[in-house]
Amino acid sequence: MIGIVGGKEGSAELEAAHELATKIGAEWQDVQPDIDVTIIAGVQCHGQRVRDLDLVVLIRTNKDIALEPLLNFQANGRELKPKRLLIRGLCLAIEVKDHPQNRIHFDGPQAYVAYRQKWHNASTQSEEQHVSLRNFLSSRGLKPPFVTNLLWLRGLRQNQLPPRPHNFLGGNATWELFANAAAQLSGHRVGADWVIDSFSNGSSPDEVKRVLAARLEPGALDRSRMEHISAQLLPDDLADSVGSRLLMLRGRGGTGKTMALLQLAWRAYQERGERCLLLTYNRVLAADLCRLLALLHVPDDIAAESIQVKTIVGYISHLLTRLGFSAKGDDFNTAYAAAKEAAIEYLDQGVLTSDDIETLRSDYPNDYDFDLIFVDEGQDWPDDEVRLLTAMFPRSVMSVADGVDQFVRSGRPDWRKGLGRSGYRVSSLKQSLRLKAGLTRFANRVAAGFGLEDWHLEPSGELAGGRVEIVIGNYLGLALNDDLLAQSRAAGNKSIDNLFCVPPSDVYLDNRGERRSRVGDQLLESGFPIWNAVSPSERTNYPSSADVLRVVQYESSRGAEGWLVVAFRLDRFCDEKVRSWRPPGNQSLIEPEQSRRLFLARWLMIVLTRALDTLVIELTGDNHWVSQILLEAGAELPDIVTINRPS
């Protein structure tokens, strides 16, 4: 039996899958009762460095399939031609290229293809797909089979390929040549025969198929954001100015800065075919945005157009390594700071020149050949990272979201430094585009209670409703959680559309050394699957199921949102957060105690602007000064806020 799974209608991957299925069917007619072939088109290895694979071929056999050896094989350094080639199981990752001969060249066993007038290493891409596939299967609890990666160059004929061994197949390659090439690379000698058995020490083809054939399922919040991104809501003149001068988008939490960046990137990708890089501060948000782009079918490829999402620290540290300044060490923060300092010193002294930067961009186009750069949380970038980024890319191709308030790292950068007024544009976002009107009014009242005189959001007339539940005591001990999750489902949401935030004190190491949270454990015990984003390894990979509740630390909630957001032990988080406060480096006129309270208040406004419809605030008691401000706001807004005091 030969079956095809996945693939977008009309896509090159699906067309290639049908062509390959035709080859297999024609050449293996006699053995079809003894084989089960699945060709999966458009595979997505979520959370991996290389996400998209054109084709994965899984072949299960009921008995050995004997083929005539068409190639020479090597064993113990000697070339031989076996009596038979025996297929016992195959797992192939096939990258498909349709470039004509004048856009492909070979350098030994490496194949290069031309995109955007630059040569890209397709062999490296193929090898990275092989690694991504194995890592993805491991992350889903499977034991990976032996994967053979092949490069199908359909624009060439077999006689236009270099001498073997290599993993290239021409457009006119027979299926048996595919099998021979895979066996040459991945098989082994057994007596007088040559055998390939990809599944001998791994999970079964059926288990691999189950994981690879699964597709991301959007929740209602996903669909809303997808529509928001693809809709042309921003002014045309704003979108048209992207790439011609520095664009600064200023707004507080909930005004839609990150979504505005995505809208601008989407239009540039869709209308102008440009490669876009979006840099964001935390890994939870990066994973969330990657999931959203996967749902939108934005390719993750070396092709002409794409939208890539990277974390700021990850991207800069990788850049430093490529420049020869390692950020590795027992203390990453110290090593990272030293590497940045050394790189900037080389820039200042002229040792590292613009020619060196251009060479880096040319040698590693996948990582550095971008038309447009989109920067989230630009107010938190230290000057040294701004300097390194602007050494790689001109500021005219940058769009920067400025969250106005500074939280994470000291020193507000000046992205506009040295630019004339014509070199940048500032666009202010003032209206709440996330919170329903009731939540906006509550946030404004709390901000006033904290003394944040400059903090205000304009409620949106189109987002009516919104509720707040303040619980003094154990929220998960109430039936309220079940009720609110049921209401979220009734509104068309899935579990993934909800966000549960926990303080650092809720996180612990289990007996395997994995970071977990007590709230997450309680949810699991109550039958709710979770995405455990307090674990560094898990939050790197976005959830592939929509039936999980997202559990994150408060520090990772920036930029995230949920239909229902639960803020656990918020007063406890305040005590833990205020201990991280450091006096400003400049000579501030504000008293330290007032400065500390303002620091904490601005952080709390991040938390209070994550919810779209319902915000739950869990407090351990009502005596904390933050609790009192929240309760006073609740008492003044009884139509919006319910205060729960479990007995």
Pair 482, 564 in one domain:
yes
User: Whole-model pTM above 0.85?
Assistant: no
Pair 529, 503 in one domain:
yes
Do the bridges between strand 530-532 and strand 515-517 make them parallel or antiparallel, or are there none, so unpaired?
unpaired
Domain count for the chain: 3
Q: Is 274 helix (H, G, I), strand (E, B) or coil?
A: coil
Pair 420, 443 in one domain:
no
Pair 304, 192 in one domain:
no
Pair 358, 455 in one domain:
no
* Predicted pLDDT of residue 301: 66
Pair 80, 113 in one domain:
yes
Tens digits of per-residue pLDDT, 96-131?
999 999 999 999 889 999 887 788 889 988 999 999
Which residues have CB under 8 Å from 319's CB, separation 6+? 367, 368, 388, 392
Domain-located, residue 221 = no
Tens digits of per-residue pLDDT, 549-590?
999 999 888 888 999 999 999 999 999 988 877 665 554 555
Interior CA angle at 67 toward 61 and 68, to 5°? 170
d(CA 592, CA 309): 38
Pair 189, 283 in one domain:
no
Pair 500, 541 in one domain:
yes
**Residue 454 binned pLDDT confidence (cut-offs 50, 70, 90):** confident
Domain-located, residue 190 = yes
Pair 180, 282 in one domain:
no
Q: Give the end of a domain, one of 186, 213, 240.
A: 213
Give the residue from 599, 588, 645, 587 showing the smallest Cα distance to 620. Answer: 645
Cβ burial of 602 (10 Å; 0-12, 13-18, 19+) is: buried
* Predicted pLDDT of residue 531: 94
**Residue 304 binned pLDDT confidence (cut-offs 50, 70, 90):** low
Pair 146, 208 in one domain:
yes
Q: What percent of the chain has pLDDT over 90?
A: 50
Query: What is the SS3 assignment for 281-349?
Result: CCHHHHHHHHHHHHHCCCCCCCCCCEEEEEEHHHHHHHHHHHCCCCCCCCCHHHHHHHHHHHHHHHHHH
Give the residue from 417, 419, 336, 323 showing the smallest Cα distance to 368. Answer: 323
Domain-located, residue 10 = yes
Q: Give the end of a domain, one of 428, 458, 483.
A: 428
Domain-located, residue 220 = no
Which residues have CB under 8 Å from 115's CB, separation 6+? 302, 303, 304, 365
d(CA 88, CA 69): 15
Tens digits of per-residue pLDDT, 31-65?
888 889 999 999 988 778 788 899 999 999 989 88
Tens digits of per-residue pLDDT, 409-452?
455 788 988 888 888 898 888 776 678 889 999 999 999 999 88
Average pLDDT of span 255-282: 88
d(CA 13, CA 296): 17
**Residue 474 binned pLDDT confidence (cut-offs 50, 70, 90):** very high
Pair 410, 497 in one domain:
no
The residue range of the domain holding 143 is 2-213
Asked if 3 and 37 count as a contact pair (C-beta separation under 8 A), the reply is yes
Which residues have CB under 8 Å from 437's CB, separation 6+? 459, 460, 461, 463, 464, 465, 466
Residue 366 phi, psi dihedral angles, 5° rounding: -60, -35
Domain-located, residue 276 = yes
**Token pair of 637 as six digits:** 């807004």
Domain-located, residue 218 = no
Q: What percent of the chain has pLDDT over 70?
A: 96
d(CA 98, CA 156): 8
Pair 468, 609 in one domain:
yes
Tens digits of per-residue pLDDT, 147-186?
999 999 999 999 999 998 899 999 999 999 999 999 988 8
